[in-house]
Amino acid sequence: MATRPVKKAARKTAPKKTVLKASGHTPVRVRMYRTGLGDCFLITFDPDGKPVHMLIDCGSLGSTTTGKKLSDAVADIRKVTGDHLHLVIATHEHQDHVCGFRNVNQEFLKIKVDDVWMAWTENPKDELAKKIKRYENDLGQALAAAAAALTGKGANEQDRQMGLAVHSLLDFAGDPGALGAAADKFAETIDEAMTFVRTGMGAKTRYLKPGTAIEDWLPNFRFYVLGPPRSLDKIQDLGEHGSPDIYGLRAGAIFQTTDPASHAQPDESEMPFDRRFRYAEADERISTGLASYFRNEDAWRRVDRDWLHSAADLALQLDNLTNNTSLVLAIERIGDGKVLLFPADAQEGNWLSWHDAETKFTVRDGTRKTAEDLLNATVFYKVGHHGSHNATASRKGLELMTSHDELVAFIPVDRRLALGRNPKGSWRMPAPALYPQLLEKCQGRVVRADLGWADDAKNAADKVTEAELVNPTTAPKWPAWRANQKKAEADARVRIEDLFIDYRLS
Amino acid sequence: MAGKELIAKSKNPVKTAEHAPFTPPPPPFRRLRGYAIDPSLSTQLETKPISQVVFRVPWEKLDSGPCGEYLEVIDADPGSGCYYEPVNLSDAALLAQDGLPPSEGSPQFHQQMVYAVASLTIRNFEHALGRRTLWRPGPPAKGANTKDDSHFEPRLRIYPHALRERNAFYTPARIALLFGYFKASAGAPGDHMGGSMVFTCLSHDIIAHETTHALLDGMNRGFLAPTNPDVHAFHEAFADMVALFQHFTFPEILRNQIVATRGAIDSQENLLGQLAGQFGRSTGLRGALRDAIGTTNDAGVWQPHVPEPEEYLNTREPHRRGAILVAAVFDAFLSIYRHRTADLLRLATGGTGILQPGAIHPDLAQRLANEAAKAAGHVLTMCVRAIDYCPPVDITFGEYLRAIITADRDVVADDDLNYRVAFLQAFRKRGIYPRDVRTLSVESLVWSGPHDDEAQPSEELQSMLTRLRSYSAENIYMDSRKQAFDLERSMRKEIHAWLGDHFQGRHGAEDSAYLGLDRGKPFEVRTARIAYRSNPDGGMFPQLLLGILQETTIPANAAEPQGAQMTFTGGCTVVADLRASKIKYCIRKRLNSAGRQERQRAFAGAAATSLRATYLGAETDGEPFAALHRGA
């Protein structure tokens, strides 16, 4: 696909060196790479003095709007950092956050990395983490098998569509193409990426639990760990009815996709009745006894693949579960208390847990901080989960971000790519309901990786992609919002380039 | 010698023209054994004695499957890649022993269980409704109009082992019930053995619940379109109510429970709440219903739930919202029951009404059980009958309350036991009111009739009713459901043609407005049924029930008239007295109601933000219940 010219930064001339420590505090630069649907953020403390570099995630499901690749981003990272990253963070096990650590790891090998931080859920020695990983992996395998059975021979269109949707969701977590004998390789690529971050970079790895405030890593800055929660319920958040039996689904799906010629026997422990009760269609007791089931004119009443349809809901659960294991960091500049918030893809359960008792912080000088304090002081918000609706809590999240005059939001998204996933048009990122709320909160200072500054969607060049975001109620506000955007560029707070967009806290 | 004589006689029996061959009278019931609630009860000491019952289902000719007039059980298990042999309940060996003995390990018993409970549910439902029921029509033939509904489908299919999950649902697209099985998790086995197979098709409540979904859908397909948060919740609640009150039709259980919990007899809601609690547990709904009725506190003492109006305002998940409606109806039932038994308790206690410690007298237990069964029957009848008085689409709980009150008043003029007030009070406590009623009283809740309606039908419109009288006569004598289906279709055709002409005539404008329709747009006569109601004075009168629908599209966003569009449905339910040729009530959902359009937009907007909608789209592929029960 041709690269559409992205909004050129005509004001690129903003002099880099003239912005000094205007506030008297150490400046911070956040660089969002425009590499599509996924996160890759380079944060540089004191960029004009003695820079300290930290990388949060390096992943993407692809980019159709900018056409920029992770390799482009990593090349820039190498250049900017002089092949030295002080800290690398992999927030959670999803391709759109970490696939770069596998696909371009040869480049990363050329970079010196001092420290690695990960969520406690990635700690191979943590019992609860192991339990979650085991469940995720089993569920992923069951779903990969179910997706294959749904799209296999004899599937009708509805089944096939559902199989494709499950497939699309699984792309986050692994490689749904790995099947049959290779089913246990489902998460192999993502495992490789995480293992590379854990051990391949030659850095010290630290696993973080919520409620931790890291004060000794960098002078003048504190790093607060808000999530993932230590409670399985909040991570898992399974909805009303609990989890269906994933092993039954898996056993059935694998059995169905096995070549009949192999005469494989099903796993007896997963069968509801003794063998003596089970008959094949060919048996006369069935072909005559249940003749109406096989009648052609009654084919619309058959139920051959309904049992696989739970896969769609399980795929949502899996996605939600892994997103909730996101490492959530709030970075505070101690001098003026301003906060940069990086919630990765945390979903509702994770957000709500920030306000729990165990996430109250008492820092060295005795000050107490709560999640609410940190949200109140947030001036930069990395929008969760590419702007999907469930990844920005409203009452316990966005509404608490009250630094209206300053707040800037960056959305790492490629809307066109998201809408192209299966089922077509359903992945709504950013979500039409959340988008205007964000704009309102930030007074227009919302930046998207695909387009640059957010604009009134009715002026969009790509009308089809932006159609859902058209919102006439915001129309009267746009003149003021555009002025705010101009101002943010003029004072070099935001700088838009082809490959990246910078935010600068001076 | 005597032996020889006998043989000779039997070889040459006396046979004359006057002697028809002996035919035994048809049995009133087919007796079938089954689990009273679910199999877990038979493994607990307290509940073992009542864990199994003999269901008495209507007698009918049955083929193997079982396959009868209403139901067809098909035991295909695609998840395990096999089929199970269908049971033949007409086999003499099974007839002689009330069917197969309950067993989790025999698929044939599972077939018997789903057949028995579904049949019983249909019978109880029809008994309350006063006429025979039809399933929704099958899909149109290939190439036919998509709205063609001439496909009569006599049987609901039941697949007892169609799913490998903790789920069971009714699928309108296939007119079938799908039941799942799953392994109880070793971590939280509940009442089951960890790792053992649990079958949803062995739970009385789940079978009754799903069957009721199908029955309700057959009566009114309009209740499937989720246009406000009450619609799906109503479907769930109604299915729960029918299943819940079915417990009270098993005298063994009822009596046993009344005796066993005698210590709580001075607060009867305790006992009956426990029954309802079993129900909540076994449907696997994590106690949504149980919590709405009451909860057991830390000390193990059951306490009724104190209703708060905020719950109705803030609860949106259909099962939880539905549970509020069930709790309201159950509350009304309890008030009625208390009222009915107050004199019994006084008689049994020398006038104090306070029971002495110890076991209660068996006669008293029997009488209390009778009263409970009677009250439950009355409440169920009120709830089912009200369906005829509901708007055709976009139902809300408040409108359902109006329907209950109106339908009851039409049949029982003198409400000396205060049933209607009991309902009103139970609903009011939960903040469930109709939107358009200024004051809350039994009188104001009755649907507007000719005396107080905002609009009046023309004489011509009412004269149409006389043309339909001949259908009423035919209706009385028809003997098959297929005939009922065909009769309804010809009535609908005739009414549609007549109304179409009428709308273009002299009174067209006023009458289309009266019916809440836009005469410039096509409309559909969705239902046309005749019901017989008994007058308070004992006579019968035929009633015509019409459901008329009209569809249009409106912008999904009011501010963007050219943007995405959504379907908006309006119409009315007409209740008419055929003998007097008068329209009694016209319950409208106007096609041009701006308020309703706005509410539907807001509801659709909220639904579109769910995680499911984000990744899988808002479409449910014609399976509104599948995902609802999975709860993602």
A301 chain-B contacts, CB cut-off 8 A: 157, 174-176
Over residues A297-314, mean pLDDT: 87
Backbone angles phi, psi at B279, to 5 degrees: -60, -50
With residue B162 as reference, give the H or E element that holds it.
Answer: strand B156-163
CA distance A306 to chain B (A): 7
Mean pLDDT (whole number) for A475-500: 95
- CB of A502 within 8 Å of a chain B CB? The answer is no
Residues of A in contact with B106 (CB under 8 A): 273, 277
Close Cβ partners of B392 (under 8 Å, ≥ 6 residues apart): B220, B222, B526, B527, B547, B548, B549, B571, B572, B573, B589
Q: Among A131, A276, A307, pick the best mutation site for testing chain B contact (most B Cβ within 10 A).
A: A307
Q: How far apart are CA B459 and CA B326, in angstroms?
A: 41
Q: How many helices (H) and strands (E) does chain A have?
A: 18, 19
pLDDT at position B562 is 74
Q: Does A248 touch chain B (CB under 8 A)?
A: yes
For A164, half-sphere exposure in the C-beta direction (CA atoms, 13 angstrom radius) is 14
A248: pLDDT strictly greater than 80: no
Q: Is this complex scored with an ipTM above 0.90? A: no
pLDDT score for A244: 52
**A303 contact residues in B (CB cutoff 8 A):** 76, 78, 159, 162, 174, 176, 178
* pLDDT single digits (tens) A421-471: 877 777 889 988 889 999 999 999 999 999 999 999 888 888 888 988 888
State how far residue B385 is from chain A, nearest Cα, in angstroms. 30
Is A433 close to B178, i.e. CB distance below 8 A? Answer: no
**Is A167 an interface residue toward B (CB < 8 Å)?**
no
Q: Which residues of chain B have pLDDT under 50?
A: 1-3, 6-8, 188-189, 263-266, 268-272, 274-288, 631-632
State the average pLDDT over residues A172-185. Answer: 60
Contact B609 A431 (CB under 8 A): yes
Closest Cβ–Cβ partner in A283, A289, A316 for B632 = A316
B353-361: long-range contacts (C-beta < 8 A, 24 or more apart)? Answer: B354/B266, B355/B262, B355/B265, B355/B266, B358/B262, B359/B259, B359/B262, B360/B258, B360/B259, B360/B262, B360/B265
**Residue B186 confidence (pLDDT):** 55
Q: Which two tokens stand for residue A356?
A: 């729990």
Binary contact (B616, A426; C-beta < 8 A): yes
CA distance A467 to B351: 74
- Return the higher-pLDDT residue of B70 and A314: B70
- Other beta carbons within 10 angstroms of residue B407's beta carbon come to 25
The pLDDT of residue A84: 96
Q: Does A278 touch chain B (CB under 8 A)?
A: yes
Which of B81, B174, B180 is opposite residue A256, by nearest beta carbon? B81
pLDDT over 50 at A240, yes or no: no
**Of A306, A324, A437, A468, which to mutate for an interface test with B (greatest number of B Cβ within 10 Å)?**
A306
pLDDT per position as a tens digit, B486-512 = 999 999 999 999 999 999 989 999 999
Q: What is the pLDDT of residue B532?
A: 85
- Residue A277's pLDDT is 94
pLDDT score for B284: 45
Confidence at residue B297, expressed as pLDDT on a 0 to 100 scale: 65
Question: Of residues A167 and A452, which shows the higher confidence score?
Answer: A452
The residue that leads in pLDDT, A493 or A306, is A493
Q: Indicate the pLDDT class of residue A55, thresholds 50, 70 and 90.
A: very high
Q: Which two tokens stand for residue A184?
A: 């246990």
Q: Please tell me the predicted confidence (pLDDT) of residue A17.
A: 43
Note the pLDDT of residue A15.
43
pLDDT (0 to 100) of residue A360 = 87
Cα B473 from Cα B467, distance rounded (Å): 12
Mean pLDDT of A400-412: 94
Asked if B617 and A290 come within 8 Å (Cβ–Cβ), the reply is: no
pTM, whole model, 2 decimals?
Answer: 0.83
Q: What is the pLDDT of residue A30?
A: 97
Which chain B residues have a beta carbon less than 8 Å from that of A418? Answer: none
Task: Give the 3-state secondary structure of residue B123.
Answer: helix
Residue A241: pLDDT over 80: no
Q: Answer whether A135 touches B (CB < 8 Å).
A: no
Residues of A in contact with B74 (CB under 8 A): 290, 292-293
Rounded Cα distance between B149 and A17, Å, is: 75
Q: Which pLDDT band holds residue A260 (cuts at 50, 70, 90)?
A: low
Compute CA A411 distance to the chain's CA centroid, rounded to the nearest angstrom.
11
Give the highest mean pLDDT range of A142-146, A224-228, B258-262.
Answer: A224-228
* Predicted local confidence at residue B161, as pLDDT: 96
Which whole number is the average pLDDT over A464-483?
90
Rounded CA separation B81/B496 (Å): 48
Convert the pLDDT of each residue in A264-293 to its tens digit: 677 788 889 999 999 998 999 999 999 999
pLDDT at position A5? 47
Helix, strand, coil % over all residues of chain B, rounded to 5:
45, 15, 35
Within the 573-602 window of chain B, which residues sit less than 8 Å (CB to CB) from chain A?
Answer: none
Please report residues of B whose CB lies closer than 8 A to that of A320: 611
What integer pLDDT is reported at residue B299 of this predicted model?
67
Q: How far is CA B395 from CA A74, A246, B223, B419, in A?
A: 57, 37, 7, 23
What was the pLDDT predicted at A87? 97
* Structure token pair of residue A477: 């506000």
Give the separation between CA B133 and CA B211, rounded to whole angstroms. 12
Whether residue A400 contacts residue A375, with contact meaning beta carbons closer than 8 Å, is answered with yes
Task: Give me the mean pLDDT over the A228-252 stretch.
Answer: 67
> What angle is formed at CA B179 by the lines to CA B173 and CA B180, rounded to 5 degrees?
125
Tell me the backbone φ, ψ of residue B571, rounded to 5 degrees. Answer: 150, -160
Q: For chain B, say whether A320 makes contact (Cβ under 8 Å).
A: yes
Q: What is the DSSP string of A202-270?
A: --EEEEE-TT-EE-SSSTTEEEEEEES-S-HHHHH---SS----HHHHHHHHHHHHS-GGG-PPP-GGG
CB atoms B83 and A279 under 8 Å: yes
Return the percentage of chain A with pLDDT > 70, whole number.
Answer: 90
User: Any residues with CB less than 8 A from the CB of A423 and at least 6 apart, and which?
Assistant: A161, A164, A165, B616, B617, B619
CB contact (8 A) between residue B105 and residue A279: no
Q: Give the rounded percent of residues in chain A with a pLDDT score beyond 90.
A: 55
Please write the tens of the pLDDT for every residue from A79-132. Answer: 999 999 999 999 999 999 999 999 998 999 999 999 999 999 999 999 999 988
